[in-house]
């Protein structure tokens, strides 16, 4: 009886247009001769560049990336994209990054009146409103409290918004989806501080206010605050950077980015939401009838392919690794599928663990590109069973006026010859 063939062992596709089994790369010898290495006629002597013969530089107190990587930067707006005084952003260059952690220097930001430079010795956080005992905290006093560390993504509600438009913007994954980052956050569970203040049973919401010149204010359900919200002080080990809320910000896992109030200075417990500017005229999902779906706060499951993506130089037919990010504001990534034929067929991608709730998950899939046209897509399913919708399905459900919470599938077209562009499919 013939031995049953394992899928993908012979570079046999598991889905259309060259997608291979996700475990193909783990099999011994599978990549021999199909990738970028060159045979070596003569091993010795190795080339001796000048850095092998001359002493290098002294260590620095705080290191920086290589000068050869200076093109890896956040994308800043040429103009004011939101047509409002002072609003600006810095977008994470996901086309150049790997793994699930965004380095602090490249974490995205959105600000509405610039980045304040706050003296931590003068910053205060106040908890008041429907509490038994109003409290004020210096930053030093917050640093005395018990802390928790967790890895979480933050995504702006307006990330990917251009995909609601009728024309596919020919731009990079950074421009389209760069208002998204992931980091390890350490801070005090907000529940500890609210318990200390003593919650009045009438309180159902928490109004949070930032201490910058735009004073972003949002109402957050008290139940969420008592669940997994952090008063964050550290980001990837070190104290928050100014553009990420130094000295103290809220971390509201899985909710719209703007609710993770930076430069946090006030938490006021209230009976109902405060209907602030940032939750009425802004950051509310516009529906087809001109009304808004207010307080849709969680970010639904979403995924993007970061490599190849627009700007990537395909180097001729052969084996490639498709790499991307998936996440869900409602839980944990369960599965990511990748298509090379515009969604006609799908291959299951490998996930790089640990797969964590409300955190970016890196996925990867091997792909044998034949040099011809291909249409790349990714689709995530989270542990609630929710499946990332197509762009058409999302727009059909929301109408044509929607502006936030775009989480439909993104499509990269690979042309004959290898140019990668953003298209609708």
- CA angle centred on 393, ends 392 and 399, rounded to 5°: 80
- DSSP secondary structure code for residue 223 in this structure: H
Q: Is the dihedral of CA 415, 407, 336, 93 positive or negative?
A: positive
Q: Could you say which residues in the range 320-359 bind its own copies, by CB under 8 A? A: 320-321, 323, 352, 354, 356
Please state the closest distance from residue 144 (CB atom) to its own copies, in A. Answer: 4
Q: Any contact of residue 116 with its own copies (CB under 8 A)?
A: yes
Considering only residues 32 through 91, tell me which ones interact with its own copies, judged by CB under 8 A.
32-33, 35-40, 43-44, 46-47, 49, 51-69, 72-74, 76, 86, 88-90
Least separation in angstroms between residue 200's CB and its own copies is: 14
* Nearer CB in complex with its own copies: 218/362: 362
Q: Which of residues 359-418 bind its own copies (CB under 8 A)?
A: 362, 364, 366
Q: Say whether residue 134 binds its own copies (CB under 8 A).
A: yes
Min CB(370)–its own copies separation in Å: 16
Q: Check binding of 247 to its own copies (CB under 8 A).
A: yes
Size of the site for its own copies (CB under 8 A): 135
Query: Which of the residues 264 through 323 are near its own copies (CB under 8 A)?
Result: 265-266, 315, 319-321, 323
Under rule CB under 8 A, which residues in 164-203 are in contact with its own copies?
A: 183-186, 189, 191-193, 195-196, 198
Cα 212 to Cα 60, 114, 384: the distances in Å are: 32, 8, 37
Eight-state DSSP code of residue 11: S
Judged by CB under 8 A, does residue 238 bind its own copies?
yes
Cβ nearer to its own copies, comparing 240 with 380 = 240
Q: Tell the residue number behind the tokens 């690979």, with chain if given.
A: 414
In this complex, which beta carbon is closest to its own copies, that of residue 36 or of residue 385?
36
Judged by CB under 8 A, the chain residues 139 through 158 that form the site for its own copies are 140-142, 144-151
**Pairing of the two strands 264-270 and 124-129:** parallel
Q: Where are the alpha helices (DSSP H) in 272-363?
A: 277-280
Tokens of 16: 């259309």
* Cis peptide upstream of residue 122 (ω within 30 degrees of 0): no
Task: Find the angle CA(201)-CA(203)-CA(205) to the nearest 5 degrees.
Answer: 150
C-alpha separations of 235 from 154, 295, 396 in Å: 12, 27, 39
For the record, the structure tokens of 305 come out as 């392919």
Does position 21 interact with its own copies (CB under 8 A)? The reply is no
Strand partners, 238: 235
Using rule CB under 8 A, residue 236 touches its own copies: yes
């Amino acid at each position: 009886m013939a031995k049953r063939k394992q899928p993908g062992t012979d570079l046999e596709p598991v889905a259309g247009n060259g997608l291979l089994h996700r475990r193909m790369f783990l099999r011994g010898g599978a990549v021999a001769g199909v990738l970028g290495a060159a045979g070596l006629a003569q091993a010795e002597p190795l080339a001796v560049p000048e850095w092998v013969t001359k002493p290098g530089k002294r260590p620095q107190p705080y290191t920086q990336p290589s000068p050869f990587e200076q093109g890896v930067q956040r994308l800043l707006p040429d103009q004011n994209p939101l047509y409002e005084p002072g609003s600006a952003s810095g977008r994470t260059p996901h086309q150049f990054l790997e793994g699930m952690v965004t380095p602090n220097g490249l974490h995205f930001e959105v600000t509405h009146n610039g980045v304040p430079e706050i003296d931590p010795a003068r910053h205060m956080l106040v908890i008041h409103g429907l509490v038994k005992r109003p409290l004020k905290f210096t930053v030093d006093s917050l640093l005395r409290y018990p802390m928790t560390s967790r890895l979480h993504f933050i995504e702006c509600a307006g990330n990917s918004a251009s995909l609601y438009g009728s024309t596919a913007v020919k731009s990079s994954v950074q421009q389209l989806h760069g208002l998204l980052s992931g980091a390890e956050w350490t801070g005090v569970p907000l529940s500890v501080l609210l318990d200390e203040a003593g919650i009045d049973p009438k309180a159902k919401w928490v109004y949070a206010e930032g201490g910058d010149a735009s004073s972003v204010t949002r109402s957050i359900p008290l139940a969420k605050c008592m669940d997994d919200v952090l008063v964050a002080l550290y980001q990837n080990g070190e104290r928050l950077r100014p553009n990420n809320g130094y000295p103290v910000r809220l971390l509201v896992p899985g909710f719209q980015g703007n609710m993770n109030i930076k430069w946090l200075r006030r938490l006021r417990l209230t009976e109902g939401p405060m209907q602030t500017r940032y939750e009425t005229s802004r950051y509310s999902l516009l529906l087809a009838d001109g009304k808004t779906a207010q307080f849709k706060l969680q970010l639904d499951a979403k995924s993007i392919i970061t490599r190849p993506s627009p700007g990537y130089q395909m180097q001729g037919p052969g084996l490639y690794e498709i790499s991307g990010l998936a996440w869900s504001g409602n839980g944990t990534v369960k599965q990511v599928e990748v298509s090379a034929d515009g969604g006609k067929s799908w291959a299951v991608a490998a996930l790089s663990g640990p797969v964590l709730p409300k955190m970016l998950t890196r996925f990867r899939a091997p792909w044998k590109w034949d040099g011809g046209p291909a249409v790349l897509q990714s689709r995530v399913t989270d542990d609630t069973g929710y499946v990332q919708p197509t762009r058409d399905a999302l727009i059909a459900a929301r109408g044509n006026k929607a502006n936030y919470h775009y989480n439909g599938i993104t499509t990269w077209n690979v042309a004959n010859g290898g140019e990668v562009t953003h298209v609708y499919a």
